[in-house]
């Protein structure tokens, strides 16, 4: 990853596929595959509203590489509504976001009612940010500059305070 030319030319791309398992009707017993990625880009660290796991849902959030269709290091946070066919992005020049987490705004809200949070590295200052976005619009609600650089993590979890009993305990188990 240190060689920019090789990094930008890497042909490997991760993506999202939606599998349709036909349980009834004329296609019963078959599976169809729908590719959901923009050609030339790469996606990972997908998240949906946890209240929708195992249920029909339209929206997922992910980290995207090659956002400018040229540079691996051009990164963005993506909101993709597959039912409406719309995509929204958050990105900043020389800013490298980590895994986005969806935190729901309440059990009775819309599928995208809540916030998306993640750590990001500001490449110019070499310090991390904690970013909060409106999950519906991807409008930035807050970007808190942290005192140093937080190393990137993969596949963490957000655990609400009520799940473990108190906010003090929740802070200890958030990874």
**Are residues 131 and 97 in contact, defined by beta-carbon separation less than 8 angstroms?**
yes
- The pTM of the full predicted model, rounded to 2 decimals, is 0.82
Which pLDDT score, from 0 to 100, does residue 137 have?
Answer: 97
pLDDT digits (tens, 9 = 90+) for 58-88: 999 999 999 999 999 999 999 999 999 999 9
Which pLDDT score, from 0 to 100, does residue 163 have?
Answer: 55
Tokens, residue 86: 């719309």
**Are residues 87 and 64 in contact, defined by beta-carbon separation less than 8 angstroms?**
no
CB atoms within 10 A of CB 92: 17
Pick out the chain residues at pLDDT < 50: 164-175
Beta strands 59-65 and 42-47, pairing class: antiparallel
pLDDT digits (tens, 9 = 90+) for 87-102: 999 999 999 999 999 9
Between CA 34 and CA 20 the distance in angstroms is 8
155 is annotated as contributing to ligand binding = yes
Which pLDDT score, from 0 to 100, does residue 171 have?
Answer: 38
Which pLDDT score, from 0 to 100, does residue 157 have?
Answer: 61
């Amino acid at each position: 990853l240190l060689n920019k030319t090789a990094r930008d030319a890497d042909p490997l791309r991760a993506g999202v596929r939606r599998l349709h398992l036909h349980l009834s009707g004329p296609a019963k017993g078959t599976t169809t595959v729908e590719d959901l990625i923009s050609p030339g880009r790469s996606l990972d660290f997908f998240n949906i509203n946890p209240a929708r796991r195992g249920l029909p849902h339209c929206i997922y959030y992910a980290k995207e590489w090659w956002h400018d269709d040229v540079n691996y290091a051009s990164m963005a946070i993506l909101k993709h509504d597959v039912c409406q066919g719309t995509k929204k992005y958050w990105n900043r020049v020389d800013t490298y976001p980590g895994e986005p987490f969806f935190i729901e705004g309440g059990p009775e809200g819309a599928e995208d009612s809540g916030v998306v949070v993640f750590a990001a590295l500001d490449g110019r200052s070499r310090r991390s940010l904690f970013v909060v976005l409106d999950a519906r619009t991807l409008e930035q609600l807050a970007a808190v500059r942290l005192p140093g650089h937080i190393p990137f993590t993969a596949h963490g979890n957000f655990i609400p305070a009520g799940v473990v009993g108190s906010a003090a305990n929740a802070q200890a188990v958030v990874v």
